[in-house]
Amino acid sequence: MPRGKYVNHKGRNRHFTNPEELEAERKNEEQKKKWRDTHGESSEEEEEDEEAGSPKGSDDSEDSEEEDEKGAKSVIEVQNPNRVSTKAFMKAADVDENQTAQLSRKEREQVEKQKAHAAYAKRHAEGKTAQAKADLARLAIIKQHRAEAAARREAEKKAKETKK
């Protein structure tokens, strides 16, 4: 016996499982799987429900609500008066003009930021922003280079054909 709490496996004999044992375990697992597929795992649950006296299909909505809530929420219903129940993220399109006066400073800034971003995206799509103009200029240069390269290839192709 080794001293101490834990056993050191170094220096011990190795144990290998026989291939026959592995094959027998595999066949046993396959049989269990077939049996589960044919009989179903829910057969045990149905038997328990029948013993309790309630059919499987009749679930009360209250039971499902209680199952969803965890911990003390299922026992105690608490309304926190200090909790602000506003949306953390509001879309600028959903906010009315009269509602902006009721929003907090952070919410107002967030709505203004969204509106500014939408306006910028619209101007960018129309090609009115500086970045869009730079992109269009870069694209024009690339198209010109590609057209020149295509023309050069055509000329080389025609030159090869005339040589033959």
Q: Tell me the whole-structure pTM to 2 decimals.
A: 0.33
Q: How confident is the model at residue 16, as a pLDDT?
A: 82
User: Cβ(111)–Cβ(103) under 8 Å?
Assistant: yes
User: Cβ(141)–Cβ(135) under 8 Å?
Assistant: no
- Helix, strand, coil percentages (3-state) for the chain, rounded to 5, are 65, 0, 35
For residue 51, give the amino acid letter: E
Which conformational region is residue 58 in: left (phi greater than 0), alpha (psi within -120 to 50 degrees), or beta?
A: beta
Q: How confident is the model at residue 127, as a pLDDT?
A: 87
Over the stretch 47-69, which tens digit does the pLDDT of each residue have? 555 455 544 444 454 555 545 56
For 25-39, 42-56, 65-79, which range has the lowest pLDDT when averaged over its residues?
42-56
Please enumerate in sequence order all residues whose Cβ is within 8 A of that of 114, keeping only pairs 6 or more positions apart, or say none.
91, 92
Angle between the N-to-C axes of helices 130-163 and 105-126, in degrees from 0 to 180, rounded to the nearest 10:
30
- The DSSP call for residue 98 is T
Q: How confident is the model at residue 40 (pLDDT cuts 50, 70, 90)?
A: confident
First to last CA, the chain: 92
What are the backbone dihedrals phi and psi of residue 4, each rounded to the nearest 5 degrees, phi first?
A: 95, 180
Q: How confident is the model at residue 79, as a pLDDT?
A: 75
Q: How confident is the model at residue 25 (pLDDT cuts 50, 70, 90)?
A: very high
